Structure formats: structure tokens, C-alpha cells
Amino acid sequence: MENSATPSVCIVITCYNYAQYVGRAIRSALNQDYSNLHLLIINDGSTDNSSEVINQEIAGKENVKFIDNEFNSGVSKVFNIGRKYAVDNGFNFAIMLDADNEFYPDHISKLVKTAETESADVVYVNFHFIDDKGQVIRTHIYDEYIPRLLRVSNYMDLSSLIRTNFFAVVEFDESLKTYQDWDIMLQLETAGARFVRARDCFLRYFFHEDGNNHKIGDIKSLQQHFEMLHHIVGKTGDDHTSTFDALYHYAPLICKASNGYIELLDVVDNYNKVTAFNEDKIARLEEKVRELETSRSFRLGRLLTAPLRLFALRAR
């Protein structure tokens, strides 16, 4: 770790069978305009030539450590390896980077500046969605942090800068198959971390054909989706876990009836009662609901989910 007055940052890149992308991610980390950096790369038992690509990219580079797992251990376990490495080696901050995404050259410097000037423990970013040609196809600006809004849905990627004194008191849930980022952010919130959005900082998030995108139309993945939500929300002690439980059990019926697309209007109604949405957001949501209520798919879904609404009412 560099002896410097500037805070030290550990970038953790995780890779599994992303040989065609990991070099790009590594170069984006090494080319940061922030000097007090250390890079940890974890290849989690890839069966392609990821290990070879990584070794080529880091040859002769300083402040880089490479962990090359012989067998795949899973995303959450790898995240915990990176988290513990950053904590045990005394870095001030840690940040994760998926092997198929990349940072702009000033990503770290912007995040550290925000953390220091606003006394933030977690600094999260906006997204530039990138196609396979490297072009920005969409920009997404996330909300400012609102207490309890995080209990509704996650809007913070693990490419957020996190103070390691908070990383030391949380742990990635290794039973989760997805939503590891949401779960860890909820843990950090419970631990008392201060969240701030870096308004002018964007993660380059790539869409590609072999990306691990949720397929809401698949019955199995839809059931897993609600199972994970139920597990995560249940750990927070919120009062709407019964709704997720009902949704999980009714998922196959809803999925088949609506050709894989559902509008969870009753869940949104429940969330509105417990979430600090501002009036403008509520107005936009109500307009969306009005549009949905006039659609044929909504009327069909309303009929099919009548037992679900009755269950949720009884569970309140």
C-alpha cells in the first residue's frame, strides 16, 4: 500500500469465464488517475483462458495481487474474499468491479472526493449502459439516498466506494444466488453507514449476449427471484414479508397467465405506505398505474391474482 496522505483504495475484480472482457476491466482499473490504488483480481475457477489473460495484463505491474482459484466457489464467497482482503490489509476504501464492466479513468478520484467532502461511508454511482460496440445506449441517474427507500429495491451497485471500517462489520450472504449487492447495502444501512450518490460519476455497465440478465419470463427464475427477495427483506424485519411469500407461491400461475410479464401493483401500493417517496414520484407512479389499469393484460392479471390480494390483506 502506497504511503500517501490520500486515502488508500483496493479495487477488487472478480472473474468467472470472462476471458473476452476481463482484460478491459483490468486496464480500466490500472489506468485510473488516482494514485493510491491496489488491485486484487480473483479468478474463480474459470474454465476458459481467463487466467492467461489476467497474467498477461498484470505482467510487470505493481500493487496488484492475483488469486487464481482452482475451483469455482461462487459469487458471494469470492466477494467475501475480496472484502476480507481489503479489511485485513488496512485499506481505507474498497470497491468491486465485475470483469465485464469498466471504470472511466476518473471513477475512483470522483468517488474518494465525494466520500471525503461529504463524510460518506458508501458512495454509489449512476450507470452508463454500454453495447458490445462500446457505445452508450442509455444513461440512468439514480435517486439520492432516502432512508427506507433501499428497503423497496436496490439502486446501488457494488462498484460503490465503501469504507472498510464498515466492510469489517458486514458479510456477503453465501446462501444467496443473486441480489448480493442489495443484501450487503441493507446490512451497511443497518450498521449506520452514511450513503451519498456521486452525482457526476458513471459506471460503464455492459450489455452483451452472454450477460447474466434476469429472465422474468422463466418460471424457475421468477420463483427464485421472489425467494431471494423474501429472504433479504425478511432479514430487515419489515412488515411486508408475507406479500413476498404469497408472490413466490403464486409465481408459476402469474407467469403462465401473463406470458412471463407481471405488474406487481398491489406490492407497489404496500410499498408506498412505508416508503418516503416524494409527491412527484408518487404522481408518476399513479399515472403509470392508470395506464396499466386500462390495459388488457392488467384486467386479466387482476382476475388471476385475486387470491393473492386476499392473502395479502389477511396477512396485514
Largest distance between two CA atoms of the chain = 65
What integer is the mean pLDDT of 236-264?
51
Output the pLDDT for position 313.
Answer: 56
Domains belonging to the chain, first-starting first, are: 9-206 (3.90.550.10), 219-315 (no CATH)
Could you read off the pLDDT of 217-236 as tens digits, one per residue? Answer: 444 555 666 667 767 767 76
CA–CA gap between residue 247 and residue 38 (Å, rounded): 44
Grid cell in block for residue 93: 476504501
Per DSSP, the three-state class of 182 is helix
- Per-residue pLDDT reduced to its tens digit, 267-311: 444 444 444 445 556 666 667 767 766 777 766 666 666 665 555
Contact partners, residue 293, CB within 8 Å, separation at least 6: none
pLDDT at 260 (0 to 100): 40
What is the arithmetic mean of pLDDT over 98-114?
96
Query: 138-181 pLDDT, tens per residue?
Result: 998 988 898 777 777 788 889 999 999 999 999 999 988 788 89
Q: Angle 265-274/306-315 helices, nearest 10 degrees?
A: 20
Whether the predicted pLDDT of 266 surpasses 50: no
Cα separations (Å) of 82 from 1, 68, 115? Answer: 16, 13, 21
Q: Which of 226, 207, 206, 208 is nearest to 216 (CA)?
A: 226
For the four alpha carbons of 35, 37, 38 and 40, in that order, the dihedral sign comes to: negative
Residue type at position 280 = D
DSSP for 23-68 reads: HHHHHHHHT-S-SSEEEEEEEES-SSSHHHHHHHHHTT-SSEEEEE
Per the CB < 8 A criterion, the answer to whether 155 and 126 are in contact is no
Half-sphere exposure in the Cβ direction for 300 (13 Å, CA): 12
Q: What is the pLDDT of residue 226?
A: 65
Q: Which of 214 and 257 is assigned the larger pLDDT?
A: 257
